[in-house]
Structure 1
């Protein structure tokens, strides 16, 4: 391993690996440092991904990691009213349930093949500064203590990003904007359709969040939930056990894996760049605040970050002013949708279980042709004028 690179990426999740690929492909020298010994482990998400982002990046789905296609959604209200939406009839669009352990490795291998160096089992424990500016990272791993100089550090080290804090960036999250998520991988479960994503809304099942059942194969599924710390009275895993035991389709299933993690649902950070440093993915809070999903946003932001950083390095200008091109581009691409997701999350939190049932009853009578938040909101406003003030700004 060299002692100096143009770019050091901290974290080999989707955001980091796509950023590394993008920067390396543009001709810069890139090093990815990952604290875990195995990329993709442990899994910390429901593993659902739309095909849109794969098409944007010319990534062909591979059965080794795109393990199950999905094309419909079922949303279940607190009293059990189900809203079913299928998208394939009109658009032909699909999504996938991933094997993240394989998918994350695939993205890292793609970065390596583009020229990036990768070191696993390497823990970044500090930044290096010169004349008050970041000039690299300190780390420790199998090779002992390391000092690696770089022109830019890309922080892809997750929701608890230490790189962002070391760089002096405000990453604080309110209790109302942070969910605790836990997931069982279960075998021996039943589901309505192997291509349908199931969501369950109820203050009793998942206060401040929702529960999900994502089919992953024959009688195999990811079953999980997220709860807001400010509303939960018990641990997330206790709510999940109750959800499983009370659901006839799940109760006889067997848990073969347990995963857990924190989910930022606060909307993106106001600042995602400084001199010599860029934040991507969960580190930048680029997460759908309504669903908690963030793989697609992380990949899109990673691609933009890699492109901008590579150009900045070639120009010899890695100042905050120059790197703000990244901030501008990702906000132009995703900023408005993230704002709407955050507003929608707050609207959802303001609704009682009774109101959720009323809305579900209305939606269950409509035959939707696509999975669209906007389409559903238009129906709700028309049917429930009293909700207009709550839904203002979303439609």
Structure 2
């Protein structure tokens, strides 16, 4: 019979959501274990690695300087005809700075913080199945180093295994994403770039990336993450073909070469209808905590993990691991993340379904001439409303 290891809280996945969940559960008194199937935490990276300074401050993060690849001053939006709207600290006062992380270092640091708070971590340990015990707790089958098979019994399991994870379905939660809300992404890390401003993000919209966008996120004076997200239902080619075409046409990448390739899917459906059941919670990408417009999710991953860990520890202390006992987590996610995402989904559908290349050229020109203090979707929509009131009338309620 397999060895059984017993814990209060088992976190499956050591990304930002999982590590933060483990840290917060452990520092609030729960016996906590994080398992990670990969042999190195933080690899391969699955995002462009950017996070805003305002989100860092909101989450109370103290990011080690070794985790930061580049400090960022602003962003540019580039339309199909190369009209550029640039927003930096020279013309925007708030919400315009941030950092591009080195996720291979950052994720590891978050896990180390969890360990320092009393959390146990097992890497190269993969969950292969999960079932309930007679007392309602979960028994998770895992395979670790040298194919060693073990069982872990947990009063609460936190699923932090990403957009293609299995823990949600194992717990009886439907996490299937409709094709129209699933993005296909490819990203190259490239060097020998020729960037107009090598400390500013660039976003390219229109037919260059059907149902999505292309991006350049600087990581150094001539190095950057260059990627693309597309909606396969709207596209005529694969994501990698669109990315290669973008690179061939973009001045910044003409002489650049690839040093790393990352691929993956990105759910833009918003938070799933269910993210908890008895003895179980989903966090981060596994819960759908991914921005439906940008596909970004580092901040919401950390935020969801933080709250899930606190709620889990409280449930352990009270001896009640039911769905009702975990409802504070659901309530928080709904108020602080899901309600915002519901509005962003409407904005996403408008941008990707209603606007053609000529519209985007016109609107980007209007943005380039606009004057506002804070960089936000709300302020951009106000400018666009003035440009084309008829098309944007349907979005008035979002303002």
TM range (shorter): over 0.9
SS in 2 for 1:52: helix
Give me the TM-score of the superposition, normalised by structure 1. Answer: 0.96
The residue number in structure 1 matching 2:226 is 223
Task: Tell which deviates more after alignment, 166-175 or 34-43.
Answer: 166-175
Alpha-carbon offset, residue 303 of structure 1: 0.4
Alpha-carbon offset, residue 60 of structure 1: 2.2
Counterparts of 1:184-263 in structure 2, within 5 Å, are: 184-203=188-207, 205-263=208-266
Q: What is the alpha-carbon distance in structure 2 between the residues aligned to residue 84 and residue 110 of structure 1?
A: 37
Q: 1:287 aligns with which of 262, 285, 290?
A: 290
Alpha-carbon offset, residue 93 of structure 1: 5.6
Q: What is the alpha-carbon distance in structure 2 between the residues aligned to residue 314 and residue 393 of structure 1?
A: 43
Give me the TM-score of the superposition, normalised by structure 2. Answer: 0.95
The residue number in structure 1 matching 2:46 is 44
Q: What is the alpha-carbon distance in structure 1 between the residues aligned to residue 51 and residue 257 of structure 2?
A: 25
Q: What is the alpha-carbon distance in structure 2 between the residues aligned to residue 179 and residue 91 of structure 1?
A: 30
Q: What is the alpha-carbon distance in structure 1 between the residues aligned to residue 67 and residue 76 of structure 2?
A: 24
Alpha-carbon offset, residue 57 of structure 1: 3.8
1:161 aligns with 2:165: yes
The residue number in structure 2 matching 1:33 is 35
SS in 2 for 1:69: strand
CA contact (8 A) 2:228 2:239 kept: yes
1:375 aligns with 2:361: no
CA contact (8 A) 2:50 2:100 kept: yes
Q: 2:66 aligns with which of 44, 64, 67?
A: 64
Deviations 1:32-65 (A, max 9, x none): 0100000001011101011233323432232211
| Structure 1 stretches of at least 4 aligned residues deviating more than 4 Å after TM superposition | none
SS in 2 for 1:249: helix
Alpha-carbon offset, residue 109 of structure 1: 0.5
Q: What is the alpha-carbon distance in structure 2 between the residues aligned to residue 232 and residue 51 of structure 1?
A: 34
Alpha-carbon offset, residue 292 of structure 1: 0.3
Task: Tell which deviates more after alignment, 226-235 or 311-320.
Answer: 226-235
The residue number in structure 1 matching 2:136 is 133
Alpha-carbon offset, residue 382 of structure 1: 2.4
Q: What is the alpha-carbon distance in structure 2 between the residues aligned to residue 269 and residue 15 of structure 1?
A: 16
Counterparts of 1:1-395 in structure 2, within 5 Å, are: 3-87=5-89, 90-91=93-94, 94-131=97-134, 133-142=136-145, 144-203=148-207, 205-350=208-353, 351-395=355-399
Q: What is the alpha-carbon distance in structure 1 between the residues aligned to residue 6 and residue 63 of structure 2?
A: 35
Gaps of 5+ in 1: none
SS in 2 for 1:39: coil
SS in 1 for 2:253: coil
CA contact (8 A) 2:74 2:96 kept: no
Please, what is the CA RMSD of the aligned residues? 1.6
Q: What is the alpha-carbon distance in structure 2 between the residues aligned to residue 31 and residue 359 of structure 1?
A: 50
Alpha-carbon offset, residue 168 of structure 1: 1.0
Task: Tell which deviates more after alignment, 79-88 or 341-350.
Answer: 79-88
Aligned length: 394
Alpha-carbon offset, residue 92 of structure 1: 7.5
Gaps of 5+ in 2: none
Q: What is the alpha-carbon distance in structure 2 between the residues aligned to residue 2 and residue 108 of structure 1?
A: 24
CA contact (8 A) 1:266 1:289 kept: yes
